Amino acid sequence: MFEWWHWIVLGLCLAMTELAVPAFFIVWFGIGAIAVGIVLLALPDLAVATQMLFWAGLSTLLVVFWFRYLKPRTISAVGTSAAHVRGEVGVLVSDLCPDTRGQVRFQKPVLGSDIWECYAATPIKAGERVRIVAVEGSYIKVEEAK
């Protein structure tokens, strides 16, 4: 018969396995095992078959919830071409003048990066919100967001 701590150890081992196999899939089985261990603290006489069924069911629900609801939110809504990023808003990291370049940081990656070198036609202070006007090579042209 499995004890509550067996499930906790299994859950931690599965969660640590995720570090070696970065698929972000095994961790849900680890969380399910930890949940079974917590349930066994409250209900110590739970049958082994019930424990396994609870673990399999909860792990499956977590995996489905991840792939159906949470994972799509982590994918950038920004398109993969320069035409789709126009209008995205970020925060200026360093002061920007027409004769100098600066950096802008985006909350979600834009074209694969969350920090971009930028320039503008008008001076803009660091910390201001800016909007992408155009992508020109490895630089983006920005203007102050209103």
Residues 67 and 111 in one domain: no
Structurally, the chain folds into a number of domains equal to 2
Mean pLDDT of the chain: 87
Q: Model-level pTM?
A: 0.53
How many CB atoms lie under 10 A from the CB of residue 134?
Answer: 13
Q: Which of 74, 92, 126 is the last residue of a domain?
A: 74
Q: Going by C-beta distance under 8 Å and a sequence separation of 6 or more, which residues neighbour residue 133?
A: 86, 140, 141, 142, 143
Residues 39 and 57 in one domain: yes
In 3D, which of 53, 13, 8, 15 has the Cα closest to residue 33? 8
**Could you give the CA distance from residue 124 to residue 26 in angstroms, rounded to a whole number?**
46
- The CATH number given to whatever domain includes residue 118 is 2.40.50.140
Question: pLDDT by residue (tens digit) across 72-128?
Answer: 665 554 445 666 788 889 999 988 988 888 999 988 888 778 888 999 999 999 999
Residues 57 and 87 in one domain: no
Residues 12 and 69 in one domain: yes
Q: Residue 59: its pLDDT value, please?
A: 96
**Residue 112 is part of which domain span?**
82-144
Residues 64 and 106 in one domain: no
Residues 93 and 58 in one domain: no
Residues 92 and 122 in one domain: yes
Residues 25 and 65 in one domain: yes
